[in-house]
Structure 1
Amino acid sequence: MTLEEINYIAQTIGVVAILASLVFVGFQLRQSTEQSKQANALARADMGERTMRTFGDNVRDLMVNNEMAEIFRKAMFEQTDLTPVETTRILFYFSLTLHAHRTAFLQVKDGLIDERVMAVFDQNTAWHLTSPIFAREWRRLQRSGVFGASDFSVHVNTRFAELYPAPATTERAEEAT
């Protein structure tokens, strides 16, 4: 065997080794990509669970704290006058609820949680806004710039209008059909 033949054989073996390495790297890359997708899915599930836990914590606080439940009942169902302390407590509760909702809104935009989680926050906030005290506070927060003309503010106002259409709008829609 000549040196030239040995050289060609060595080159062929080298090419085969490089191709085998590329196939192996491709296989590793595919596995790595799959593991990344699984880790991302787990992180999203965890993020959704933590976001919903915030919602659940607010509801639990109303359930286990009789005084807070009474204040909430007055604000939501009776629209009776609240003491200054009661007003402070219920508006702080509402602020926490809104900030948890905004967190969920931003997480949906970033693809970290899914729309089903967001729907719970949308419905809850819209329901709260049927109470005059919460509706006034929402308008105040928008005017003060806390939420202002943000995407979140527009989203909440749109969802509220969809879930609780104004009676005049509903009547006009019924007349049109």
Structure 2
Amino acid sequence: MNLSNLASIGSFVSGVAVVASLVFLYFQVRQLNVQAKQAAISQQAMMKLARTTRVMEVNERMASEAFAQMDMRIARNGKDVSAVDVMRFSAHARAVFQNGEDTFAQHRRGLVHPADFTSFEKSFRWGLQSPQLRLAWGRHRMMYDEGYVSFVDRLVSEAPLMLASPDMLERWQAEMAAAIASAGGASPPAAKPRPRRRSAAAKPIEGLETPLGHPRPDPG
């Protein structure tokens, strides 16, 4: 075997080694990409769990009898509202707004799944139907980034204003009676619900329109 043959064999072996290295590198990069995707999914899951935990804490607080009574006094804007009630509700509202800001900021950084953000946006818009939360937002909006302020202001402009209904219990009982009847069960007679009233049914809250720069929605 002459030198030329040895050189050819050496070149062939070198070529095989290069191809093997490239194949190994391909599978290694592929594995790293899979691991990176799994890490991103895990991170999103942990962040979603943290957001859910915060929301559940707010819901648990709202489910307490003391908070429900205070919230009803605030919503009806009656003479029995105290300064302590206002302070407690303001603290609750700040927790809602700060939780929303965190979710909004994570979404801008690409850390929140679009479907999760859509659910958050719908839920936030629904909550902003209450005049007391709108008033609180008008008092706290200067604390937040312009992007988040514009986002919440848009939700406020899109959400219809809904005031506390004085016949809420009657409506609930009527709807429960209908639900039980539709399932084939028996239910005691329930009062027929009166038409739901909006802003004309409650005392307006002074200053509700001015902080947000949005016209107050038509009560009709």
Bin for the TM-score computed over the shorter chain? 0.7 to 0.9
Which sections of structure 1, spanning at least 5 residues, go unmatched? 172-177
Give the structure 1 partner of residue 152 of structure 2: 156
Alignment partner, residue 37 of structure 2: 37
Could you tell me how far apart the structure 2 residues matched to 1:67 and 1:100 are?
A: 22
User: 1:97–1:137: structure 2 CA closer, same or farther, 3 Å change rule?
Assistant: same
SS, match of residue 80 in structure 1? coil
Task: Measure, in 1, the Cα distance between the counterparts of 2:134 and 2:4.
Answer: 88
Q: CA deviation at 1:89?
A: 0.9
Tell me, yes or no, if structure 1 residue 12 matches structure 2 residue 63.
Answer: no
**Runs of 4+ with >6 A deviation:** none
- TM-score calculated relative to the size of structure 2: 0.67
Task: Provide the C-alpha distance between the structure 1 equivalents of 2:50 and 2:82, rounded to a whole number of angstroms.
Answer: 33
Aligned counterparts of 1:123 and 1:12: Cα–Cα separation in 2: 64
- The whole-number CA distance in structure 2 between the counterparts of 1:72 and 1:123 is 22
Identity of aligned residues (%): 22
Q: Which amino acid is 2:78 matched to?
A: T
Give the distance between the partners of 2:77 and 2:131, measured in 1 at CA: 7
Greater shift, 121-130 or 5-14, is seen at 121-130
The structure-2 alpha-carbon separation of the partners of 1:70 and 1:115, relative to structure 1 and needing over 3 Å to count, comes to: farther
Does the 8 A contact of 2:74 with 2:132 survive in 1?
yes
The answer to which structure has the higher helix fraction is 1
Deviations 1:77-109 (A, max 9, x none): x23352111111111011001000111111111
Q: Does structure 2 retain, via aligned residues, the 8 Å contact 1:44–1:113?
A: yes
Query: Which aligned pairs between 1:1-177 and structure 2 lie closer than 5 A?
Result: 1-63=1-63, 65-76=64-75, 78-81=76-79, 82-142=81-141, 145-147=142-144, 150-164=146-160, 166-167=217-218
CA distance in 1, matches of 2:56, 2:115: 15
CA distance in 1, matches of 2:102, 2:36: 24
Structure 2, unaligned runs of 5 or more: 162-216
In the superposition, the TM-score normalised over structure 1's length comes to 0.81
Mapped partners of 1:56, 1:117: distance in 2? 16
Sort the Cα spacing of 1:42 and 1:97 in 2 relative to 1 into closer, same or farther, 3 A: same
* Alpha-carbon spacing, 1:97–1:44, altered in 2? closer, same or farther (3 Å): same
- How far did residue 156 of structure 1 move? 1.0
What RMSD over aligned residues (CA atoms) do the two structures have, in Å?
A: 2.2
Match of 1:175 in 2: none
| Greater mean alpha carbon deviation, residues 81-90 or residues 116-125 | 116-125
- TM-superposition CA deviations, 1:19-51 (whole Å, max 9, x none): 111111111111110121122112112211211
* Alignment coverage as a number of residue pairs: 164
Residues 116, 52 of structure 1: alpha-carbon distance in 2 compared, 3 angstrom cutoff: farther
